[in-house]
Structure 1
Amino acid sequence: DQYLASLEQFWSNTDQNLLIDFALPNCLLTEPCVLGIDEAGRGPVLGPMVYACAIGPLESGEPGLKTVGFADSKTLTEEQRESLFEAVNTPPLCDQFGYFVSALSPHYLTSNMLDLPKTNLNTMSMDAAVGLVQRAIDRGVRLQQIKVDTVGKPEAYRQKLLQIFPHLDVIVESKADLNHPIVSAASVCAKVTRDRLLRGWRYREKLIPAPPHDQCGSGYPAEPATKAYLRSVIDPVFGFPQLVRMSWSTAAVLMEKHCVPLRWPDDDEDETGKGSGGSSRKRRSLAPAEAAASVQMMKHFAQRGTPTEQQQRSRLRRQLLNCEFFAKHQLARVTEL
């Protein structure tokens, strides 16, 4: 179905974000509606952060969801969440409710948080929420009220939403998923989708074994299974596969400890030179053993004979094509891109 096709699309290119958009029942286009928003996966170091919105009739929607048993997804077992998600997708609930899902890939989260200027997680969260509300409006939903589980201070978040959607009744609360069934439904949709995206994750990096889902843990940094997974997949040059949010401090600490240190050109000023910012830098002297090793390294790479430039290029090309390291990380020469 459309939902599974959307997951397949994401797995085929996990660099990109995902928007799952469904056909809506006619009642949402003709009756005043309420929309609830919640997320799953804000804190984990693994996988996407998933936002979802649930939409239902303003008068009858939430009582109907409460009767079915919607509650905060974190208080439900996986089996309960899957059962409720199935209920939303089958009659009679699918004839009264709709939902959209927006998944922000770990690559997107990492890139934005390490970019200059940095985009913080709160900003990306709010952008995702605003995008879902706007999507519902663009689809013709007669939206009258939105209920949101807060990011940061509730009133500040509410005022920002009112600036964008001044015609709507906006309710922003901490733990809104406990107090409003429409937000609980969004919470379940977000959590189930995130769990499925993690279970079906396809590594773009070759030769990285995909451990069973239960061996990765839920992705929270403090979880032993997640810690063990991170230690098992770290690469000394490239860090982690794209499943990992490398901007998280948990990943950064491991890279600092286990990866090759990076030196920039301005770190190699001579003894009397000035580094960036005008401060004096001194180059560290090599110990005798290091100096001897450096000489041996130079001899090892010293040119023997005088191969032509064409021969050098051909040799380098063969080395790159046959190098397991480059194949593993899906690297290609710039001239071949």
Structure 2
Amino acid sequence: MNKKERELFQRQRLEEMKQFEKEICGEEAACIAGVDEAGRGPLAGPVVAAAVVLPRDFDVPGIDDSKKLTEKRREAMYPIIKETALAWGIGIVDHEKIDEINILQAAREAMRQAVSEASRKLAAKGMKLDHILFDAMTIEDISIPQTNVIKGDSKSLSIAAASILAKVTRDRMMVEFAAQYPGYGFEKNKGYGTKAHYEGLRTRGVCPIHRKTFLKNL
């Protein structure tokens, strides 16, 4: 599509995702946190979650499920989201904790951290969370009203924004790890099980940030 068609599409997506949140949370919910994670599937590195609370009048087209965006687009949207959000939070659970409690519980813990940080930032402004939208997840020990949204990163604007923050944060961490632990291709595969990654495991063995519970069959 040409530039004009792309801009029209992005504007339509923005309005669709904003409308979805209004229908789920109601018009009275002023502070809605979208929460998503990145890194449940890789063989190495942390799982990272983000929580994002956007203002109701947010009007910047271009946010979508991070998996649908190019790396360049994610990097461009990353500072915009941080600068325009009412609040945001990041949660990180490392490979050791993942091995200890399993990846599902680690993802939930990262989400709790992210929600907690976003809540603190809102409180500092005299505001509080009205509703949380989780991408395909439920966290029982959070008392704030919440909704589990299947494929939420492609339906909810706030979850999509959170998916971008989580993805970019984790990708940057994996690029840094690539310099510390060369030979696995972390700068490209971000810890996922690519051919280059498996070749690195075969020739170099397990490095300090590998998830050992993910490598039992190797």
Distance in 1 between residues matched to 2:69 and 2:86, nearest whole Å:
21
- Map Cα deviations across residues 204-228 of structure 1 (whole Å, 9 max, x no partner): xxxxx6238467623222x212211
Alignment of 1:113-128 (within 5 A): 119-128=101-110
- Map Cα deviations across residues 108-132 of structure 1 (whole Å, 9 max, x no partner): 212x1xxxxxx23222222222232
Structure-2 change in CA distance of 1:136 and 1:215 (3 Å): closer
Residue 147 of structure 1: CA displacement? 0.7
Distance in 1 between residues matched to 2:117 and 2:187, nearest whole Å:
36
Q: 3-state DSSP class of the match of 2:130?
A: strand
Tell which has more relative contact order, 1 or 2 (C-alpha 8 A, sep 6+). Answer: 2
Q: Residue 35 of structure 2: which of 26, 29, 37 is its match?
A: 37
Distance in 2 between residues matched to 1:132 and 1:213, nearest whole Å:
28
Show the counterpart of 1:69.
Answer: 62
Alignment of 1:100-119 (within 5 A): 100-110=89-99, 112=100, 119=101
Contact kept? 1:40, 1:51, Cα under 8 Å = yes
The count of aligned residue pairs is 185
Cα root mean square deviation, aligned: 2.3
Show the counterpart of 2:51.
Answer: 53
Structure-2 change in CA distance of 1:220 and 1:72 (3 Å): same
Does 2:116 align with 1:134?
A: yes
Q: Residue 247 of structure 1: which of 194, 213, 217 is its match?
A: 213
TM normalised by structure 2 equals 0.75
TM normalised by structure 1 equals 0.50
Contact kept? 2:74, 2:164, Cα under 8 Å = yes
- Which blocks of at least 5 consecutive residues in structure 1 are unaligned? 1-30, 113-118, 152-156, 204-208, 235-239, 255-337
Contact kept? 1:146, 1:170, Cα under 8 Å = yes
Percent sequence identity is: 27
Structure-2 change in CA distance of 1:136 and 1:83 (3 Å): closer
Contact kept? 1:218, 1:226, Cα under 8 Å = no
* Structure (1 or 2) with the larger CA radius of gyration: 1
Q: What amino acid maps onto 1:43 in structure 2?
A: G
Distance in 1 between residues matched to 2:87 and 2:185, nearest whole Å:
29
Q: 3-state DSSP class of the match of 1:241?
A: coil
Alignment of 1:1-337 (within 5 A): 32-57=30-55, 59-61=56-58, 64=59, 67-89=60-82, 94-110=83-99, 112=100, 119-139=101-121, 140=123, 141-151=127-137, 157=138, 160=140, 164-165=142-143, 168-201=144-177, 203=180, 210-211=182-183, 213=185, 217-221=189-193, 223-234=194-205, 240-248=206-214, 251-254=215-218
Residue 96 of structure 1: CA displacement? 4.2
